[in-house]
Amino acid sequence: MSGLSAIDCRRLTAGLMVITFVVIALGGVIRIYDAGESCPDWPTCFGTLGFDVSEAEQEAWYEANPDEIDSRGAGHRYTTFQIFTEWGHRALAGVVLGPLVLIGWLLVRREEAFGSEVRLASSISAALIVWQGAVGWLTVRMDNEHWSVALHLGSALAFMLSLIWLWMAQSKDIDSLPEWVDFESDTSPVWGVRLLWLSVFALISLFSGAFVSTTGGANTGCGVNGLYDSWPLCQGEIIVGIDDWTLQSQVIHRFLVGAVEVTLLVASWAAWKELGSSSTLCRWIHASAAVYGVNILIGAMYILSWDMSDGFEEWLSLVHLLLASMSFLILSTAYVGSITGREELV
């Protein structure tokens, strides 16, 4: 037996969720500072284990590795801060988060208080952290191609969801779920399916936003002419013809976001009518719709923040990413809680 109790294992899982959210946030910081290729090799950074790499040292590394060419141009170099963001992201994920997940996996198997659901959730989280490391390597090798960034983000959210499931399963085995996350009384096959589709739609809109943010020129696809002309309209029009699916991907993103918000509002109304305002599930759906709605306004603020000399306020883009991730996680947590609660009742 280990020296840690079942409650300590649950605390470790909660800590892992916090670290994971920080790692996701750091990934967003890397993007807004255009530092995705600031460590062109993996797992080292310009062949070193540190981040303080001068432009001369970067030049020497590129000369020694002629096949490695930055997508921003052969002469592009990075600041120490840009390199630090990528280095810090890797260090927190690979040196702190990864080992702690594996330690948690071992501790779960030594704790007799935990049942099969906890062990399954723990195994999935351990597998996903290994997968996430492989996807991180792939993202570097692919020079942050759109699809690799979306895959990396999607894998991170799947890993976070596995930790949430693990924490919920541990709570049920130790004592009981807190009332604010206890969906057992609200479980039904209908709402399980609805929550699944809502989660999928929210994730698709999130991926479309990641595509826009990693595509040069896509952020200005609806213009930068200020209120009304650039938002909520696009190039001064309600419906815009699409000639270039890549550069005008913001149009598609806006359409998806609008459709998801309408769907969330309808689901919120249906949950209120069918489950009642005191229902845990109803409150979670309302929370997701509210967060999603606020995030639409954050997206609008980002578009309207354009300045000829400074460009966009990129910190708004980071907030936009985190709120989109939060809205998805609220929905998917409700889904996981509802289906696992239903299985327990059967």
* 104-126 per-position pLDDT tens digit: 999 999 988 899 999 999 999 99
User: Residue 261 has what pLDDT?
Assistant: 97
What is the pLDDT of the chain when averaged over all its residues? 91
CA pair distance 278, 266, nearest whole angstrom: 18
Residues in the chain: 346
Q: In the chain, where are the structural domains located? A: 1-175, 177-346
User: Residue 187 has what pLDDT?
Assistant: 60
Judge whether 89 and 23 are in contact, CB under 8 Å: yes
* pLDDT-based confidence at residue 345 (cuts at 50, 70, 90): very low
User: Residue 341 has what pLDDT?
Assistant: 63
Judge whether 256 and 243 are in contact, CB under 8 Å: no
3-class DSSP string for 192-209? HHHHHHHHHHHHHHHHHH
What tokens does 43 get? 């797992």
User: Residue 344 has what pLDDT?
Assistant: 53
- With the CA atoms of 237, 243, 247 and 253 taken in that order, what torsion angle do they form, in degrees rounded to the nearest 10? 60
Up-side HSE of residue 329: CA atoms within 13 Å toward CB? 23
342 has pLDDT over 60: no
User: Residue 54 has what pLDDT?
Assistant: 96
**For the segment 259-272, what is each residue's pLDDT rounded down to a tens digit?**
999 999 999 999 99
* pLDDT-based confidence at residue 186 (cuts at 50, 70, 90): low
**For the segment 200-257, what is each residue's pLDDT rounded down to a tens digit?**
999 999 999 999 988 888 889 899 999 999 999 998 999 888 888 888 899 999 999 9
**For the segment 17-35, what is each residue's pLDDT rounded down to a tens digit?**
999 999 999 999 998 898 9
Alpha-carbon distance values, 181 to 102, 203, 282, 285 (Å)? 26, 21, 11, 12
Region 162-176: mean pLDDT is: 93
What tokens does 76 get? 């592009």
CA pair distance 230, 220, nearest whole angstrom: 9
**For the segment 282-338, what is each residue's pLDDT rounded down to a tens digit?**
999 999 999 999 999 999 999 999 998 888 999 999 999 999 999 999 999 999 988
Q: Which residues contact 75 (CB under 8 A, 6 or more apart)?
A: none
**For the segment 48-74, what is each residue's pLDDT rounded down to a tens digit?**
999 999 999 999 999 999 988 888 888
CA pair distance 2, 130, nearest whole angstrom: 24
What tokens does 27 get? 């990934």
184 has pLDDT over 70: no
78 has pLDDT over 50: yes
Q: Which amino acid is at 8?
A: D
Report the predicted TM-score, pTM, of the whole model to 2 decimal places: 0.91
User: Residue 178 has what pLDDT?
Assistant: 85
CA pair distance 56, 48, nearest whole angstrom: 14
What tokens does 119 get? 């062990």
The larger pLDDT score, comparing residue 203 to residue 345, is at 203
Q: Which amino acid is at 237?
A: E
